[in-house]
Amino acid sequence: MQIPAAWTLVGLCCLVAVTYSAQLAPLRAAAAAPRPGPPPSTLALELRSIFRQIPRKQIEKLVQAYILNDEEFQGVVRDINSLQAYRLSRQLAAQPEVRQLLQWLSQQLILSGSSLKIFEDLELEIKVINKYPQASQLVNGIRGFELEFFQIYPLELIRSLLEPSATQSSPALAELWRRLVLLGCLPTSA
């Protein structure tokens, strides 16, 4: 039995097509695979690691001692919680530069799987029962509070984690630092 030339040609074409298709399969799979985008942002993780450096319990105890026992400190807290201070904070939040910073920060935190609620971890809980009235002998006004606060707050450590020299591996932290310096929140040099 003779196979017509046309069928031979069709068979040969099918054989070539199947072989060619088998060779191209890995290439097609690679082309169809999702291309890696930019690496996911890790800003939330980086901020949390910085927040862990802050001794919250010690700061809470210090604030509690001063708020319960120091009139000058109580006056500052009253001023911070006044209607005038609230209005000032709303005016500040309405400034275009501040709004841009908050919008950028919110976007970066969303990209890293978080939100601005990450900053709620920094809130202090102050008990208003004075278990230690002898602390009234240890408070020294606003200046005393500042001195004690800076003894326990790791300012240089946090600055070293945020400064551009330390954030070269973290573009998001470097950009946050740059934006804060441009806004005037941080000095340009240590």
* Close Cβ partners of 159 (under 8 Å, ≥ 6 residues apart): 190
C-alpha distances in angstroms, 65 versus 140, 154, 163?
A: 11, 20, 33
Closest listed residue to residue 91, CA positions, set 82, 99, 103: 99
Question: Rounded to an integer, what distance in angstroms lies between the CA atom of residue 99 and that of residue 9?
Answer: 71
- pTM score, two decimals? 0.67
In one-letter notation, the amino acid at residue 117 is: K
pLDDT tens over the chain, length 190 residues: 444 444 444 444 444 444 444 454 454 555 555 555 555 668 898 889 889 989 999 999 899 989 988 999 999 999 999 999 999 999 999 999 999 999 999 999 999 889 999 888 788 888 888 777 776 778 889 999 999 999 999 888 888 877 766 556 678 888 888 888 888 876 655 4
